[in-house]
Amino acid sequence: MSAALNGRVICVTGAARGIGLAIVRKLHEEGATVIATDVGIPADAADYSAAMLALDVTSEESWRAAEREIRERFGTLSGLVNNAGISQTAALEETSLEAWRRVYAVNVDGVMLGMRTMLPLLREGSAVLKGGATIVNMSSVGGLRGSALNIAYTSSKGAVTLMTRSAAIEFATLGYGVRVNSVHPGGIGTDMIDTIYDRYVELGRVASREEAAKASQARYPLGRLGTPSEIAEAVAFLSSGASSFMTGSQMVVDGGYTAS
């Protein structure tokens, strides 16, 4: 077993399934002590985590409680992975203010609250780590370019891209020893993508989920969607000392989708 993350304590949000669960598994394999969190206890992460916490990323109090528990049980934090996110597939005219705010609460407020709440713990732990402490924010190819029927999601992920860059510069300028980078997956085979395909069917854009999947895959130069573990590889690298000269960067993992 390689040990690129030995001695690191890393908290992951949205860890109950999909990309978040794959991240927990990969960080554990690389030797990290992993704190897996989700709105409910992420039971499937039991074999790969040292603690499983209920953490609703939209709630300031929930973040504070998680911070207290991590401080008491582990005394330190080396990394935070702000992975929790939700999608919303609708035309602008069909996007209610309530739905818009829900997407922003999870995807934008969640990342801001996470960085802000965990920053003191990350700063305290940073000095003894090669490359300092790390934050990885899960954006999307949707945080780099626009797309139809996706305005709440893409704009929220665009905010994640720029929150990452601004925090990276701020923390470096202030000498905090905390690097901040974002990851930008293309389509990854998880529940989220199935929900999006089902919405395309509902909206009459395609006849079936299978047709939606085929059309989607055709847009990727590598001819397929990615897997959660391919995203976890990028997160593990950005959470390790191997990425010590990277901060404020966007790591795109998208099968060539944004290359053209």
Contact footprint for ligand NAD (CB under 6 A): 13-14, 16-20, 38-39, 55-58, 83-86, 106, 138, 140, 185, 187-188, 190-193
For ligand NAD, give the closer residue by CB, 102 or 124.
102
Classify 164 in phi/psi space as left (phi over 0), alpha (psi -120 to 50) or beta: alpha
| Sheet order of strands, 9-12 included | 51-54, 33-38, 9-12, 79-82, 133-138, 178-185, 250-253
Nearest position to ligand NAD, beta carbon: 85
Could you tell me the smallest distance in angstroms from the CB atom of residue 52 to ligand NAD? 12
Could you tell me the smallest distance in angstroms from the CB atom of residue 138 to ligand NAD? 4
Could you tell me the smallest distance in angstroms from the CB atom of residue 72 to ligand NAD? 21
Nearest-angstrom CA–CA distance, 59 and 46:
24
Could you tell me the smallest distance in angstroms from the CB atom of residue 127 to ligand NAD? 30
DSSP H/E element including 37: strand 33-38
Of 48, 153, 176, 197, which one is the catalytic site residue? 153
Amino acid at the residue 156: S
Beta bridge pairs of residue 138: 183
For ligand NAD, give the closer residue by CB, 85 or 132.
85
Q: Is 153 a catalytic residue?
A: yes
For ligand NAD, give the closer residue by CB, 129 or 193.
193
Q: Would you give the DSSP letter of residue 174? A: T
Cβ proximity of 13 and 85 under 8 Å:
no
For ligand NAD, give the closer residue by CB, 50 or 86.
86
For ligand NAD, give the closer residue by CB, 19 or 129.
19
Sorted by sequence, the CB contacts under 8 Å of residue 105 that are 6+ apart come out as: 58
> What would the DSSP string read from start to end of 87-139?
---B-GGG--HHHHHHHHIIIIIHHHHHHHHHHHHHHHHHTTSTT-EEEEEE-
Could you tell me the smallest distance in angstroms from the CB atom of residue 173 to ligand NAD? 27
Cβ proximity of 221 and 175 under 8 Å:
no
Catalytically active residues, by annotation? 153
